[in-house]
Chain A
């Protein structure tokens, strides 16, 4: 791998490059000609006011929506390039290695915490179980694969501090724990790109701090790319390497957290046209925090 200094977010070495992405729902252009790149071992944040089209970008990336226009290229470190806009939803997660969480948590609530993490390793286990046939007879290959899956699940359980709740139904966890579990579940698919939709929403400051540390650890230890949608500006400014700002479906700013924070277009988007444009960034940030 190349050293970070040379890893500028240029199109050639980007993990993900989004080019001219547009999607319209009837008359509404939810995402309008958005281009940006995301690099591995970096946290790329996507911010913007409510309804800016952030979740819609995720839905295009993960195959839930088919974009009207644009190219979504993911360069998998070992499997080559995938054009995500041409792939079916489950296929993106299965082969291209893009995992996501949801703005409204989507766990398997009646299943246990541990089971949630094992289900995430479905494809690996399915292959090892000979598409169920060998598994029915308890073949050795399957048992080894299951052990591997269990190991990974236990590892992530420990990372998110939920080992003692392993056998509880996921739906019975507290809100913050559910958020962490959803991230761990996504990580159990062994992704190269992790897309997190407002992971800090509804967390208290302590949980929010834990989350920040978890995300930085994922970036640095797992060496994958992280795409992060977030309204909590302290989280965004604290951990992201690169920020993309959307407003009414258009990209209005793109750059380092510091550059974006000082960008007048961003301040205008968050405060509205008629407000004084010369507000100091600290004030802008505080107001941005209150909105979430």
Chain B
């Protein structure tokens, strides 16, 4: 790209240090072997009369070889020797792809003989890996550049982040327009809408958690607790007092905010890892209480028959009870079961947008700025007279409140809740969305939710590999861009705005 980078890259080539390269690859192979031995080495098999353990020698050896070769290729690339990597990895990857696709398109060629592993997905991963290495090598040869420095990459990604942030002024409304139009698209079937509702739920939760983690910098691993409190608050209020969704929604938020303050108090003095551990414990506590307080929560049986939301009092059912009208009757429409889904879709879209607008607004208010200042330096905050206790508690409470709204929506959508829906993995996923998207970035959360929730839902067929891909994506991001995909912070006030504000009112003489 730029000439500056190219010139720094064409440094004189030092001779390749073979022994140390081999040693490094050997170490990696050894580690791989150890891991593979434990993780894939043994397989329990059904044999007549019970289970038998088979040792999978071939697989372990193959994985170890991949580790060795992969590391060696990586060292070669690092030292600017892209050519040998390109000429081996590219053909290998291409051959793998051909061998994998061969049986589908040209069964006669019997290409599957050349496939390395028994497992289809592992083969694909290997092919992609090889092509990735080869492609990178080819790119380096093309640009005559060795790998760029992490700083330069960080800077470039930052520029991309800034550009997207700039563009989000247009991308945001565009996405909103798309989201509004989605249910009316010809391809919008029930499955797509269900996935969209799920994605939007996580977008909302991500935005809620972003207040706590992204703005206030309080690492919360127990966010799902507030989701659970919201869901159970709504379900219990609705079932015991026969209240509707709209009446209960504020209560669900208030209860969750209260739970947020309850969590906030004991963790006021904690930071970083310690805070994360306590919040994790809090999340588990809430789940275990829900599980064991049978009289109140029906424990593992869960709560069923949770009322569905109504459209301004009109239920979304085919056959409303005697004397009431349902949505389709009131509007004189044909009954369609998709209507209810579309209604739910717009409901969560509205809730998510409220969360977003609230966050955007509060960022520019003193409390929002204090949250960010607290994230940056708590001691400096105290020296400026900012009360860290109240500031943290409001962050916990407001973040929790949106979790509670999300929970109430979840309960009304499912009609049934049980503690199983509120396990730690949910907290982890929501946090991953925030971290992956870029802490504090609103649009990043949307992309990350689509990436982490939407795509895996579409590829349900690959079920067991979803979590693998999920983990791989997280690790890649953490290595490649620790601050998240779109982490770019836009100031809450710019000099021009400040000058406008300053000039807007009358004379406004010099301050003392």
Contact = CB atoms under 8 A, between A and B. Distances in A.
Interface of A: 62-64, 89-95, 99-100, 102, 106-112, 114-115, 118-120, 122-123, 125-126, 129, 131-132, 135-136, 143-144, 146-148, 150-155, 163, 166-167, 169, 185-186, 189, 222
A63 to B, nearest CB: 8
Interface residues of B, number: 39
A173 to B, nearest CB: 14
Contacts of A118: 369, 493
B498 A106 contact: no
Given A90-B388, A108-B372, A110-B376, A147 B383 contact: no
Contacts of B384: 90, 93, 99, 119-120, 122, 185-186, 189
B369 A114 contact: no
B379 A64 contact: yes
Interface stretch (B25-33, B92-100, B177-185, B503-511): B503-511
Nearest to B492: A115
B498 A100 contact: no
B366 A167 contact: no
A139 to B, nearest CB: 11
Nearest to A155: B511
A114 B495 contact: yes
B495 A108 contact: no
Nearest to B380: A106
A163 B498 CA distance: 11
A115 B498 contact: no
A144 B505 contact: yes
B365 A136 contact: yes
Given A94-B385, A147-B505, A108 B377 contact: yes
Interface of B: 358, 361-362, 365-367, 369-370, 372-373, 376-377, 379-388, 394, 489, 491-495, 498-499, 501-502, 504-505, 508, 510-512
Nearest to B394: A132
A114 B377 CA distance: 16
Nearest to A89: B382
28 contacts: A62-B383, A92-B385, A99-B383, A102-B383, A108-B380, A109-B376, A110-B489, A111-B373, A112-B491, A112-B494, A114-B493, A115-B369, A115-B492, A118-B493, A119-B372, A122-B369, A122-B385, A123-B386, A126-B370, A129-B365, A129-B366, A131-B367, A136-B365, A154-B499, A166-B494, A169-B489, A186-B383, A189-B384
A93 to B, nearest CB: 3
Given A94-B387, A189-B384, A122 B492 contact: no
Given A99-B384, A114-B491, A125-B366, A108 B510 contact: no
B217 to A, nearest CB: 10
A107 B380 contact: yes
Contacts of A147: 501-502, 504-505, 508
Contacts of B362: 132, 136
A225 to B, nearest CB: 16
Given A108-B373, A112-B491, A166-B498, A90 B365 contact: no
Contacts of B491: 111-112, 114-115, 167
The 8 A-B residue pairs with the shortest CB-CB distance in the complex, in nearest-first order: A94-B385, A93-B385, A108-B376, A112-B491, A125-B366, A106-B380, A166-B495, A135-B365
